[in-house]
Structure 1
Amino acid sequence: MSGEDKERVCVTGAGGYIASWLVKYLLLKGYMVHGTVRDPCDEKNAHLKKLEGASENLQLFKTDLLDYEALCAAMAGCTGVFHVACPVPVGKVQLIEPAVVGTKNVLNSCVKAKVKRVVVVSSIGAVMLNPNWPKGQVMDEECWSDEEFCKATENYYCLAKTIAEIQALEYAKRGELDIVTVCPSIVIGPMLQPTINTSSLLLLGFLKDRTEPLEDEDRPLVDVRDVVDAILLIYEKPEAKGRYICTSFTIRMQALAEKIKSMYPNYDYSKSFTKVDEELRLSSGKLQNLGWKYRPLEESIRDSVKNYEEAGILHKE
C-alpha cells in the first residue's frame, strides 16, 4: 500500500501514556499517523520515532492545544482524529483552559479539515462525581459528574474533563462532526514513554515501602492496551455512537495489594489500610456489546512490573 492509499489520522498529545500505545497500534495497522507534541525534538518523545513503521508513517507536529493554526496544519489531510492530549493536574487554570479551550480548538480544526470521525478520550472523572446518582445503582453512560459538586470539592481535573466531554458531544448533536467519546478508568499496564505518568504511580506505590495508611477504597482499573483496543474499535465501527465507559475491574486497595504481594513477595508493601464504606459500581456493558474484551488483571500487573524493572524504576530483589 502506498503512502497515498493509506488512511491518515491525527493523535493529539502523541507522547503521552495512552497516546503512545495508540500511535504504536495505529502504525502496526498500517495507518499514516500525524502526532501533535509540544516539541518533536524533546527526548521524551524519542520513543515514538523508534516505533515499528514510524520512520515511514509517523509525522510529528509541534503544537499545543491552544494553538489553533498549528492544530489545523497537523490535521490537514486526516480522515480521523483521536483527541487524547490531556493537561497534567496542577491547578484550576492550568487544567480547565487547556482541557476546555483545547478541545474546542481541536474540534474546530477537525471541522476545517473535514475529518470524518473524531474519538475524544475523556475519563471516568466525567462520570463518577455525582452525589445525586442513586446509591447502589451501577454507573453507566447516563451518569455525569456534577459540575457544581466538582467545584465545591475543588476537583478541577474532573470538572475540566466533564465540561470538555459535554462540549464535544454538543458538537456531535449539532451535526458538525461525527464524535464518539470514551471514558477510561484508572489506566495501568506497561509504559512506552520515559516519564512516569500519574496512573502508573498507583501500582508503583504498592511496590515501594509506604508507612502512611491507605484508604481501602474501590478503584476501577483498565489496561492501557485494552483502552487502545476500545479507542480503535469505537473509531472503526460505524455503529459506535455517544459515550463509552472503559473499565475492566473494580478492586479494593487492600485486595489489590494482596494480589500484587502474592505475585511479588519480595517487595515492601503498604501495611495498613483504613476502612471505607463506599462501594463503586461502573459498567462497560455498552463497550462490551460493541465487541470489546479485556485481559486478566494478573497480566496487567505482571507486564507493568516487568516494564518498571526493565526501566530501572524498580530494582529486582
Structure 2
Amino acid sequence: MNGAGKVLSVTGASGYVASWLIKLLLQRGYIVDLIDLAVKGTLNVLASCAKASVKRVVVTSSVAAVEHNGRPKTPDVVIDETWFSSHEICEKSKEMMRCILARSPTFPNLSVRWVHVQDVAMADILAYEFPSATGRYYLVERVAQVAHYSEIVKIIYGLYPSLQLSQNCADDKPFIPIYQPLGIDFVPLERCIKETIESLKEKGFISF
C-alpha cells in the first residue's frame, strides 16, 4: 500500500522502534508528524484522538515490560496486568548474550524469543493499512523465532567460526517451550543474531 501523502502521527519518535517505523513510513510515501510522548502521555494522546474522531490508532508495547520477574511461564500460566518486570532480572537477561560471547563455560538452559525491530515497525504499518485489522496482535513466541540457547550458540558459531564458544548447558533440566504463531514473514533468526552481535561490537561492548 502506498501512503500517497497521507499524514500520520508517531509518538516516541526518538525511540528505537519508532525510528524504524518512521523510516518505513516515509519510504511508503506517508507524511509523518512527531509527538513528544514525554509531554503527552499515551492516555492523553488516545483522548485527543477520540475528540478528533481519528479512525485508527496503533499502540505498541513490549512483553519485556511484564514478563521478566522470575515467575514460571508454563503453558497454563496467564500473563496479565498484575505482572511487572523486575529491574534486576532485566539487567541479568541483557547480559546473557555478552556472557556467551565472553566465552562463559556454560550457556543458560533457556529459550528466548527473537523479533527484528524492522518486523515490529512493519507490523505497526500493516495494522494501520489493513482495514480488517482490529484488536490485539502479538509479535512474540513464534515457533521459528523461539530458540534455545543451544541453537543460538550453534548459529553464532556458524557465523563466527573462530570464536571458541561453550557447548555445555548450565544444567540438564528439561525446558518447556511456549510459543504462539503469527502470520508475518519475519526476519530470519540468523540475521537477528548477527546484527545483535555486530551492534555490540560497533558500540564497544565486545571485541573479537
Do these two structures clear the TM 0.5 threshold for a shared fold by scoring above it? yes
* Alignment: residue pair count: 195
TM-score, normalised to structure 1, is 0.51
Q: CA deviation at 1:204?
A: 4.5
Q: Which amino acid aligns with 2:154?
A: E
2:85 matched residue in structure 1: 155
Deviation readout 1:175-212 (Å, 9 max, x if unpaired) = xxxxxxxxxxxxxxxxxxxxxxx98766445333446x
Q: Which has the higher strand share?
A: 1
- Aligned-partner Cα distance in 2 for 1:295–1:225: 8
Q: Does 1:294 align with 2:186?
A: yes
Q: CA deviation at 1:122?
A: 2.2
Q: Does 1:208 align with 2:102?
A: yes
1:124 matched residue in structure 2: 63
Asked if the contact 1:7/1:31 (under 8 Å) is kept, the reply is yes
Deviation readout 1:295-315 (Å, 9 max, x if unpaired) = 221122233334444555544
Asked if the contact 1:9/1:34 (under 8 Å) is kept, the reply is yes
- Against the structure 1 CA distance between its residues 279 and 103, is the aligned structure 2 distance closer, same or farther, given a 3 Å change threshold? farther
Q: Which amino acid aligns with 1:155?
A: S
- Aligned-partner Cα distance in 1 for 2:5–2:115: 30
1:190 matched residue in structure 2: none
- Against the structure 1 CA distance between its residues 9 and 268, is the aligned structure 2 distance closer, same or farther, given a 3 Å change threshold? farther
Q: CA deviation at 1:121?
A: 0.8
Q: CA deviation at 1:64?
A: 3.8
Q: CA deviation at 1:259?
A: 1.7
Asked if the contact 1:10/1:33 (under 8 Å) is kept, the reply is yes
1:21 matched residue in structure 2: 20
- Against the structure 1 CA distance between its residues 239 and 266, is the aligned structure 2 distance closer, same or farther, given a 3 Å change threshold? same
Match of 2:152 among 252, 256, 265: 256
Q: CA deviation at 1:108?
A: 1.4
Q: Percent identical across equivalent pairs?
A: 32
1:223 matched residue in structure 2: 116
Q: CA deviation at 1:256?
A: 0.9
Deviation readout 1:195-242 (Å, 9 max, x if unpaired) = xxx98766445333446x553111111111112221111111010111
SS at match of 2:150: helix
Asked if the contact 1:124/1:245 (under 8 Å) is kept, the reply is no
Listed as ranges, the gaps of 5+ residues in structure 1 are 37-62, 72-101, 138-142, 158-197
- Against the structure 1 CA distance between its residues 146 and 132, is the aligned structure 2 distance closer, same or farther, given a 3 Å change threshold? farther
SS at match of 2:9: strand
- Aligned-partner Cα distance in 2 for 1:235–1:108: 19
Asked if the contact 1:126/1:144 (under 8 Å) is kept, the reply is no
Deviation readout 1:91-125 (Å, 9 max, x if unpaired) = xxxxxxxxxxx332221132234322111112335
Deviation readout 1:21-51 (Å, 9 max, x if unpaired) = 1111111112111233xxxxxxxxxxxxxxx
Q: CA deviation at 1:268?
A: 5.5
SS at match of 2:58: strand
Deviation readout 1:231-263 (Å, 9 max, x if unpaired) = 111111010111111134111122212221221
Q: Which amino acid aligns with 2:129?
A: E
Q: CA deviation at 1:8?
A: 1.4
- Against the structure 1 CA distance between its residues 147 and 116, is the aligned structure 2 distance closer, same or farther, given a 3 Å change threshold? closer
TM-score, normalised to structure 2, is 0.74
Q: Does 1:266 align with 2:159?
A: no
1:237 matched residue in structure 2: 130
Higher relative contact order (CA 8 A, sep 6+): 2
Alpha-carbon RMSD: 3.4
